[in-house]
Amino acid sequence: MSQIVFEGRPVPFHPGQSIGAALTAAGIRSWRTTRSGGRPRGLYCGIGVCFDCLITVNGRPSLRACMVEAREGDVVEGGGRDA
Amino acid sequence: MVIVGGGVVGAACAYYAARAGLTVTVVERGAVAGGTTGAGEGNLLVSDKEPGPELDLAVLSSARWAELAAEDGLGAAVEYEPKGGLVVAETEEGAAGLAGLAARQRASGVEAVEVPAAELTGYEPHLAPDLAGGMFYPQDAQVQPMLAAAHLLRASGAEVRTGVTVTGMSRSGARVTGVRTDRGDLAAGAVVNAAGTWGGEVAALAGVNVPILPRRGFILVTEPLPPLIRHKVYAAEYVANVASDDEGLESSAVVEGTPAGTILIGATRERVGFDRTLSTAALRRLARQAIRLFPVLADVAAIRAYCGFRPYCPDHLPVIGPDPRAEGLLHACGHEGAGIGLAAATGHLIAQSLTGARPDFDLHPFRPDRFPEQP
């Protein structure tokens, strides 16, 4: 099975799956914290509207995890530019 | 008394009227801040106005907002930020125009500090390096407009009835004695029309003409970023746009950070009725103009846009005060793009009118019967 690397640990994905779906399927439900209050955030709407699931992929910050298709070997870190 | 409209102006009227001892009910057709209030940036600006009654009202309102923000917890709750505004000019000609405007505004009580080109990045490190100069206005400030309306309403203790539409006025002879709504009649010693862009429709229910029309504006919102922009920053052309009578698309960038991390990029002006169709041409122009001021934004994602309808009168002045054509009816609407900023003074002056106190501001320029009667 294909893999991405989330904060140093391998996470499997099915071809066509979004990074957000792959993380959630692996039991990783949050990957950033809120600006005020530090509360955990992951998938919320899951369809690209809410911008809650921001993530950094291969160095590109502030992408929506629910909208980015997972690719073999992607290096994924939680949060966006303001994390 | 009954206030028609749960936007920031209605909320400020409720706040000051309740503080003056009146019993207030606010009737709102939709949700609190669901109209133009919720579609704004939260500008409290004195910098963008030519000398005249509107600037005088803005200066008074700026002081009232500072007082409100100093009240227990209210400033933090509404995200009041007395951050100051920085107006920048691209050309020497533009900078000279700014200096002339500032000289006229100072006579109206506006503080304005000239900023030479070389000192601009001291105010805003990310500004484009080739601007000709600017003017800093320490009185300019910002609130989160929806929070402002909601917290003023809460602090007022007024009864707020949302989802209730006013369908008519109760009369006793010529006098307005309350409102009729789709949920029953409400008797009132006075009715305040704070219906914003829809204020003309409410006035018509009382049989009086208050010509208010919509002027559409789009705002572009970036992804949340670490603090990047310290002040309200806008291009000198903005002042000309605000005062313009052109019907077509006008835009000049107003760029500001928010406590939520997003950057707001306003604002377009168009007279297209109540058309909510997304205009990519308008958004593209806003983005281009913002990048012209802050090149760093070229690499930043815009995550959404919203639009709203500024309530404007033919002479671009608001309508504030008792209506001599319909005793018992007062108006507090038509503030165009300055409603958040002008709300505090408007509420204060409406409360003075309601209690018979001598108003500390001449309302004559804002009188509701200044327009020609419709044929």
How far is B147 from B143, CA to CA, in rounded Å? 8
Shortest CA distance from B225: residue in chain A = A82
Confidence of residue B209 (pLDDT cuts 50, 70, 90): very high
**pLDDT (0 to 100) of residue A62:** 87
B107 touches A at CB < 8 Å: no
**pLDDT (0 to 100) of residue B47:** 96
**pLDDT (0 to 100) of residue B251:** 85
How far is B345 from B338, CA to CA, in rounded Å? 12
Q: What's the gap in Å between the CA of B310 and the closest CA on chain A?
A: 26
Compute and round to an integer the Cα radius of gyration of chain A: 12
- What is the domain-level CATH number for residue A38? 3.10.20.440
Confidence of residue A82 (pLDDT cuts 50, 70, 90): low
Q: DSSP characters for B1-60?
A: -EEE--SHHHHHHHHHHHHTT---EEEESSSTTTTTGGGS--EE-STT--SSHHHHHHHH
The structure tokens listed for B53 are 């009654």
What global pTM score does this model have?
0.92
Nearest to B28 by CA among B219, B158, B209: B158
**pLDDT (0 to 100) of residue B358:** 87
Instruction: Give domain limits for chain B.
Output: 2-73+145-211+315-366, 85-138+213-312
Tens of pLDDT, residues B236-274: 877 666 666 666 788 888 999 998 889 999 989 999 999
Residue A11's Cα: distance from chain center in Å?
Answer: 11
Sign for the pseudo-dihedral over CA of B333, B339, B340, B343:
negative
Beta-carbon separation of A80 and B224 below 8 A:
yes
Please, what is the angle between helix B339-355 and helix B145-156, to 10°? 20
Residues of B in contact with A54 (CB under 8 A): 223-224
A81 touches B at CB < 8 Å: yes
The CATH class of the B2-73+145-211+315-366 domain is: alpha beta
Q: Which domain holds residue A42?
A: 2-78
Residues of A in contact with B226 (CB under 8 A): 81-82
Q: Please, are residues B327 and B320 in contact by the beta-carbon 8 Å criterion?
A: no
Q: What's the gap in Å between the CA of B15 and the closest CA on chain A?
A: 29
Please, what is the angle between helix B339-355 and helix B8-19, to 10°? 30
**pLDDT (0 to 100) of residue B72:** 87
Cis peptide before A26 (omega within 30 of 0): no
Mean pLDDT of chain A: 93
Beta-carbon separation of B260 and A35 below 8 A:
yes
A8 touches B at CB < 8 Å: no
B243 touches A at CB < 8 Å: no
Chain B 254-313, residues with CB within 8 Å of chain A CB atoms: 259-261, 301, 303-304
Dump strand ranges (E) for chain A: 2-6, 9-13, 32-33, 40-41, 54-57, 60-64, 75-78
**pLDDT (0 to 100) of residue B241:** 66
Degrees, nearest 5: CA angle B209-B270-B110: 80
Tens of pLDDT, residues A7-57: 999 999 999 999 999 999 999 999 999 887 889 999 999 999 888 999 999
Question: How many CB pairs below 8 A link A and B?
Answer: 23
- Mean per-residue pLDDT, B6-34: 98
Nearest to B215 by CA among B139, B273, B290, B160: B273
Q: What's the gap in Å between the CA of A40 and the closest CA on chain B?
A: 16
Ranges B32-36, B55-59, B93-97: which has the least confidence: B93-97
- Mean per-residue pLDDT, B107-126: 97
pLDDT at B44 over 90: yes
Q: What's the gap in Å between the CA of B259 and the closest CA on chain A?
A: 9
Beta-carbon separation of A81 and B260 below 8 A:
no
- Per the structure, how many domains does chain A have? 1
A23 touches B at CB < 8 Å: no
Confidence of residue B324 (pLDDT cuts 50, 70, 90): very high
Beta-carbon separation of A35 and B224 below 8 A:
yes
Counting residues of chain B whose pLDDT is more than 70, the rounded percentage is 97
pLDDT at A83 over 60: no
The CATH class of the B85-138+213-312 domain is: alpha beta
Whether residue A83 lies inside any domain: the answer is no
Q: Which H or E run includes B10?
A: helix B8-19
To the nearest 10°, the Cα dihedral for B125, B131, B132, B136? -40
How far is B334 from B340, CA to CA, in rounded Å? 12
Q: Say what the ipTM of the complex is.
A: 0.76
